[in-house]
Amino acid sequence: MNCQRPGCDGTIEDVGGGELFCDTCGLAPLGAGTAVGRGGGGGGGSSQPSRATGTGPGSAASSRSSRTSGSSRSSRRSVSGRLSRSLSGGTSTASVSVRSSRSGSSGPTRGKLGAGLVNVPPIPRPDPAAAVLQDPQVPERKRFCSRGECGAPVGRGRGDHPGRTEGFCTKCGHPYSFTPKLRAGDVVHGQYEVVGCLAHGGLGWIYLAVDRAVSDRWVVLKGLLDTGDEDALAAAVSERRFLAEIEHPNIVRIYNFVEHLDPRGGTLDGYIVMEYVGGKSLKEIANERRGPDGRREPLPVDQAIAYAIEALDALGHLHSRNLLYCDFKVDNAIQTEDRLELIDMGAVRRTDDQDSPIYGTVGYQAPEVPEVGPSVASDLYTVARTLAVLTFDFQGYTNVFVDSLPDPDGIEVLSRYESFYRLLVRATDPDPGRRFASAEEMSEQLLGVLREVVALGSGKPRPALSTLFGPELRVVDTQLMAPAQDASTLGDRAANSGRRGAVPLPPAARPAGPVLPPSSPAVPGPGGYGAVVPASPFTVPAQRTAPAIPANPAAGRAVSTLDVRAAALSLPVPHVDPADPNAGFLAGLAAAAPSELVAALQAAPVQSPELRLRRVRARLDSDDAPSAVEELRRLQEEHPDDWRVVWHRGLTALVTRDDGTAALSFDAVYDAFPGEPAPKLALGVCAEVLGQLDNAAEYYRLVWTTDQSYVSAAFGLARVLLAAGDRAGSVAALESVPESSIHYTAARVAAVRARLRGRAPQEPLLDDLRAAARQVEDLQRLGLDTRLREQLSTEVLGSALDWVLAGQQGAAGVPSAQSATPGLLGRDLDERGLRFGLEHSYRVLARLADQGRTRIELVERANRLRPRTWV
């Protein structure tokens, strides 16, 4: 990008941390709003007050903080959903405003960076003395007036003459100085011996010192107020003493507030004395990641999320004490060993403070702060913006995208991790009321996204209990396909037997060859398998011709149709809001039958949203959809944005087959809770019934890869993959159901059928036949029901018989009759052995049949499939 300043033909460069400057004139781009930092120990970050000191929330915002992008004033919710785009042309009208009743956490909740999911490389504690700058100077391009409402460039050179390090702002007359006030050896407050400068911030230099009164510990001295007014300084010291009461492992410890008379300037300066935190700032960690071409590479998304979770833990602690951090960014957090710490407490303010200047950084600060002031929502906004800066090359985040996000289709990490993008969208929503309600809530959803990211990367599930939804109620459609009626098409000799109900075989399927007299000796069996069959009046082929069969029947033809109503009512149920007046009453009705529940709900002590939602659910369960729809309509009029109401809107729409409305409703809940599996599972069902098999597969895979307690996701994934023709993927999904699951047997049975159902006999089936047979044998050892075992045996042996009769006897890898290697299910892999196996299975099924007609039909099938013998 070229510099737009008059008379300058330079190029705008990113010098790190999103700070943009011209390589010729050294100035920030027009409209970029560069801010010079107050920084923390080891950081050189840039911050500026968002409005003039002493102004109220209604005062005019500074020009650098009030810019907006063209799309920032309208909610961006639901723009990321694949179903939303296909159904509504790009946006969803079913947007959810979530206001959690939970407050921020009051203390640390995790003890290790990464929450046990991510191995973040530790940063060793360096020698503090090594961090001291040998020649402390502030580059001219970073020299700005420190007066909040001014911020004009100062100390700039002209031509060959360097800029002054001390002087007065030519715009407002405020004094400036970029020369360190303290030197090595100076003793502040008779206790803190200065070692040197660490960095420069918005209120002057930051110094490393040794506390001679307390075990010679390392401390940091940071300017408190850039003024020579003694009364103002005393007031500032008194006002900031509350910071010393903050104790949290992720927040730098404030030790003291001291005053020091500058002997050179004659001014009384105030300093915050804080813990020295050795390590690297997030900005330094990010800038050290360079590709072969020297360009900065983004942090891995899981590592960045791990940092954000730690930061949210710290912010939640501040919020619980009615404090706001206001200026979280890559400069203000340091990783030391395996812990992240917030190091700059200069912008912290009370939530009810209406007078103090507000500090923030362009590109991180929420757009409403200059007008209405900071809030919990604006703090969470800064965390999301920091995540974006760390995880992709976020060019223009201080100007073009100062309060918006770029198109995810052009950002690899955003297009790969949809849940991560949705979290960023919600946390940076232009409407503060639509952002996360607390640091705890955002951290919880971010942790869910992290589990998903780690599971996708490692292939290992990362399950966790949801605080919003219960488990799935049941798993429906576990069969995927019904048992086969005819195990073998080519092996059934109904046409030759003349039995009742026989269907003649096509001519191509009839054996051809010489007719042997009854007295002829036994001859080798067909295809060189070595099976010896006696001579008979029936023809025995010397060489078989494959019958005319479709080359490759569509795999999806055999897939059972999804029971949409049952699938909808099996989805996880939202937990009852504990703040609802009927929460206790509803907990006692958890096990009631639907018919009893409708009557029991009439005895509720008071009416409440949760009671009415339970009534909607009870009517859906009792198949009274019209009453449920009417009840929900009235509830929506009163609580249109409540996420539980929107969830039940989707549920009701799915039951009544308003599939488009269902998809948009569940998509809105996904927007609100991107770390929850339940809305993704619901969207998978919606995509499947809408015929969007690719989207359905993605949602099912996302849920199943992350949490294998949602077994319906595995069956759903297998179902849509099989319908789309991906037989191998379908089998893999079914075989991934763990043995510990109660649905393990159903999954293995479905896998056997998915391997073989609808396959043409000419296909190379040997590997699948052997795999299916092994699965049947494994299930038998686990105590598989005899009837189901024999049904599966007929399907495997029948497919094998068709494969043999279709001319595959000579295929490579097929054992001969002389081989000691067993065939399938204890039967030789030739026509005779397979027919004996089919006959045995059908006779066992006949003995187990409940009805006489079924028994007769099974015995006839056994007779039609048995091999030719003399008896």
Active site amino acids: 327
120-135 burial code (b ≥16 CB/10 A, e <16):
beebeeeebeebbeee
C-alpha distances out from residue 333 to 150, 240, 251, 341, Å: 27, 20, 9, 6
Q: What is the Cα–Cα distance from 765 to 800, expressed in whole angstroms?
A: 8
Q: What is the Cα–Cα distance from 415 to 422, expressed in whole angstroms?
A: 10
User: Amino acid identity of 282?
Assistant: L
Q: Which of 754, 756, 759 is nearest to 737 (CA)?
A: 754
As beta bridge partners, residue 350 has 323
Query: Is 636 exposed, middle or buried (CB count within 10 Å of its CB: 0-12, 13-18, 19+)?
Result: middle
Q: Which of 221, 277, 271, 273 is nearest to 249 (CA)?
A: 277
How many other CB atoms are there within 10 angstroms of residue 584's CB atom? 11
The answer to whether the CB of 207 falls within 8 A of the CB of 198 is yes
Q: What is the Cα–Cα distance from 835 to 862, expressed in whole angstroms?
A: 9
Classify the phi-psi angles of 687: left when phi > 0, otherwise alpha if psi is within -120 to 50, otherwise beta: alpha
Q: What is the Cα–Cα distance from 325 to 362, expressed in whole angstroms?
A: 15
The DSSP letter of residue 805 is I
Q: What is the Cα–Cα distance from 105 to 444, expressed in whole angstroms?
A: 11
Chain CA centroid to CA 159, Å: 54
How many other CB atoms are there within 10 angstroms of residue 360's CB atom? 27
C-alpha distances out from residue 463 to 110, 701, 703, 712, Å: 17, 14, 10, 15
User: Amino acid identity of 75?
Assistant: S
The two structure tokens encoding residue 13: 């460069």
The DSSP letter of residue 824 is B
Chain CA centroid to CA 72, Å: 24
The two structure tokens encoding residue 217: 């510990």
The DSSP letter of residue 465 is -
The two structure tokens encoding residue 225: 């107020």
The answer to whether the CB of 428 falls within 8 A of the CB of 384 is yes
The two structure tokens encoding residue 455: 């599971």
Q: Where are the beta strands (DSSP E) in 419-537?
A: 523-524, 532-533
Q: What is the Cα–Cα distance from 835 to 802, expressed in whole angstroms?
A: 11
Give the per-residue SS3 of 635-659: HHHHCCCCHHHHHHHHHHHHHCCCH
Q: What is the Cα–Cα distance from 464 to 707, expressed in whole angstroms?
A: 7
Residue showing tokens 């362009």: 362
DSSP letters along 389-449, please? Answer: HHHS--TTTTTTTTTS---GGG-HHHHH-HHHHHHHHHHT-SSGGGS-SSHHHHHHHHHHH
The answer to whether the CB of 513 falls within 8 A of the CB of 543 is yes
Q: Where are the beta strands (DSSP E) in 590-716?
A: none
